[in-house]
Amino acid sequence: MDKLFHMFEVTGELVKDLMSKPDNIHFHDFEELIIVTEGSLEHYIDFQVEVVKAPFASYISMGKMHKIVPHEDFRGWVINYQNEFIPDSKINFYSNFFNSTNIPISPDGCTQRFVSLCEIINTEYNQSNPDLVTIRYLTNGLISMIEAERKKNIPEENTNRTSQIVTFNNFLRILEANYHRDEGVTFYADKMNMSERNLNIICKNNFQKSVSEIIETRKLIEAKNQLIHTNKSVSEIGFDLGYNEKSYFTRVFHNKTSVTPTQFREMTRSIIS
């Protein structure tokens, strides 16, 4: 994409056009937000498929291999933007720890707020001389609304909700700086001066995953990126991510993806070619 920002509405006519085309597995050189206000679709990311139903928001970070198979009733909005247009967004940061980022939107009036904001952004974008500063501000607001929807999944009975979110984000920052190392739950709990049990509770409340699952997911996402975008050997990639034995790295990768690292690389390269 040669623009900083691009947006379009998903209409019935566009859905028919998409459904008539062959498989469109592809890579992005930009960030993408999909706001689904009606209907449903099948979303493939790195050979894994999830059927998602409206209302929801989906974020696809740059470099992800994905494909969308829309159902006939799918309606919504698609927003594409370069990373430098909205740098350091929380949704981009969180995508490093999730294989996919599909966030349900509360149907109780929230959907209309998303529709209204998308319409405002689209109106400004389609001006003869659109104001990118205004578009950036409004899109940041849209991302903040999506993040607010994600936080609604945190149990209401948790009286330390805000404190837990801060602690969880601190854990993710420490993980981002250290995931290349061969370190487990104890290392991260010690870094945060708390027990492994409490750190696991916070992770479960915020991401519905244990500490070890989040660590493994972060390593797996980086492994996929390197398999797709570099010529490093499987052994080199495993070693980069703290796996001292190729066989162990291959076993972990296979358990999570149902294919070996070599098979994953071959599959993605066949798609690219």
pLDDT at 162: 72
Report the C-alpha gap between 258 and 125 in whole angstroms. 42
Q: Are residues 137 and 217 in the same domain?
A: no
Domain count, the chain: 2
Provide the residue range defining the domain that includes 89: 5-151
- Do 10 and 145 reside in the same domain of the chain? yes
Same domain, 147 and 167: no
Where a domain ends, among 151, 186, 213?
Answer: 151
DSSP, res 97: G
Evaluate if pTM is beyond 0.85: no
Same-domain check for residues 32 and 127: yes
Name the β-bridge partners of 9.
77
Rounded CA-CA distance 143/147 in Å is: 6
* Residues 92 and 199 reside in one and the same domain: no
State pLDDT tens for residues 125-144.
999 999 999 999 999 999 99
Structural contact between residues 151 and 24, judged by C-beta atoms closer than 8 angstroms: no
**156, part of any domain:** no
- CATH number for the domain spanning 223: value is 1.10.10.60
Answer yes or no: are the C-beta atoms of 61 and 92 closer than 8 Å. Answer: yes
How is residue 212 written in tokens?
A: 């070890």
The ranges of the chain with pLDDT < 70 are 22-24, 99-100, 109, 153-161, 272-273
Contact assessment for residue 96 and residue 138, using Cβ atoms and an 8 Å cutoff: no
Tokens for 14?
Answer: 């566009």
- Among residues 151, 182, 215, which one ends one of the domains? 151
